Amino acid sequence: MKLLRFGANGAEKPGLLHIDGTIRDLSGVVPDLAGAVLHPEGLAKIAATDAGSLPLVDTGARLGPCVAGTGKFICIGLNYADHAAESGLDVPPEPVIFMKATSAICGPNDPIIIPRDSEKTDWEVELAVIIGKPAKYVSEAQAMDHVAGYAVTNDVSERAFQTERAGQWTKGKSCDNFGQIGPWLVTKDEIPDPQNLPMWLTVNGEKMQDGSTRTMVYGVAHVVSYLSQFMTLHAGDVISTGTPPGVGLGMKPPRYLKAGDVVELGIEGLGRQRQDVVADQ
C-alpha cells in the first residue's frame, strides 16, 4: 500500500494512493497514520478496506508528511561509503546517530526554508524507515518485523550550523522545513529489498545525487536492531538512513542552495518530491 496524508498544514487527513492513481480518503477508516494504526493489525485493517469505495480527494490537495505522531526523528550519519569518502571521513565503526527535531518535519513538496544567517544550506536524499511496532532489544533477524514501511526524505542541512559552531550536529539539521517526508509511506511488502533502491536528487534540473541503497554501510535491519539497544522505537518514529554522494558540501568548490532554486528528489518505488527554496523572513 501507498499511504499518505493530505490537507492543510496541521489539519491533515489519512489517505491512500489507489491502484487507479487517485487519492482516496481514509479518515472514515482510521483516525490518522499514527500509533496503533501503524501496527501490523492496523495496516491489515486498511488493506482489507475496499479502496475503490472510499471518497475521492481533490487532485490539487496538499500532501503532508506521510506519518503522524512522530516522537523521534533519528538520523544515521556517514552511512554510505562513497559519501563518507567525499566528506573526507572514515567509515564509522558503528552507526553515527544524531537527532533531528520533529518540528522540522513537513510535507514532501513544502518549501525548503533557508534560515536566517545561513550560507551553507545543503540537500540530502535519504531512505526513511517508518517504525510500525515498538522495538526494544530486537535482534537483526527480528528487526524487519518492526518496520511499517519506507518513504523518501530530504535531510536538509545547514553545514555551518552543523560543523562550524560548537556542539553537536542537531542545530544544523533541525531548522523549520528541514525534514520533508513522503509523498507516501510505502508498506514493506511492496519493497522486498530496501538495500537495492536507486535514488537521485536534482537542483534546478541538474543531477547532483545518483546513488543506490546498495552502498549503505549499515543496512535497514542492522540500524533498527542497533538503535533498539539504546532506546525503544515506537510506532511513527522515523529513521533517516543516510545519503549517497553528491551533496553540496562535497563539491569542489562546495555549492549550496539559494532562494529561487528548485530541488527534486526520489527513490525507486517510493515516489518523488519537489521543493522550492525560499528565504526565511
Lookup result for grid cell 491512500: 16
Query: How far is the C-alpha of 153 from the C-alpha of 182, rounded, in Å?
Result: 7
Residue in 275, 227, 264, 250 with CA at minimum distance from that of residue 75? 227
pLDDT band of residue 59 (cuts 50, 70, 90) is confident
Q: Which residues pair with 125 in a beta bridge?
A: 154
pLDDT of residue 248: 95
Lookup result for grid cell 511496532: 133
Residue in 149, 156, 181 with CA at minimum distance from that of residue 272? 181
Taking only the tens place, the pLDDT of each residue in 44-57 is 999 999 999 999 99
Taking only the tens place, the pLDDT of each residue in 81-115 is 877 777 777 788 999 999 999 999 999 999 999 99
Cβ pair 120, 158 in contact under 8 A:
yes
Model pTM above 0.85: yes
Taking only the tens place, the pLDDT of each residue in 234-247 is 999 999 999 999 99
> Among 51-60, 161-170, 245-254, 272-281, whose mean pLDDT is lowest?
161-170
Percentage of the chain modeled with pLDDT above 90: 89
Q: Enumerate the H helices of the chain as residue ranges.
A: 40-47, 81-86, 140-143, 159-163, 220-228
Cβ pair 238, 102 in contact under 8 A:
no
pLDDT of residue 189: 97
40 phi and psi, to 5 degrees? Answer: -55, -40
Cα distances from 50 to residues 45, 53, 56, in angstroms, run 10, 6, 13
Residue in 94, 104, 95 with CA at minimum distance from that of residue 77? 95
Cβ pair 129, 242 in contact under 8 A:
no
pLDDT of residue 89: 72
- Residue 266, pLDDT above cutoff 90: yes
Taking only the tens place, the pLDDT of each residue in 154-178 is 999 999 898 788 778 889 999 999 9
DSSP 8-state symbol, 151? E
Query: How far is the C-alpha of 80 from the C-alpha of 61, rounded, in Å?
Result: 35
Q: CATH: 3.30.429.10, 3.40.980.10, 3.90.850.10, 1.25.40.10. Which one for 65-279?
A: 3.90.850.10
Domain spans in the chain, listed from the N-terminal domain onward: 65-279
**CA 53: distance to chain centroid?**
30
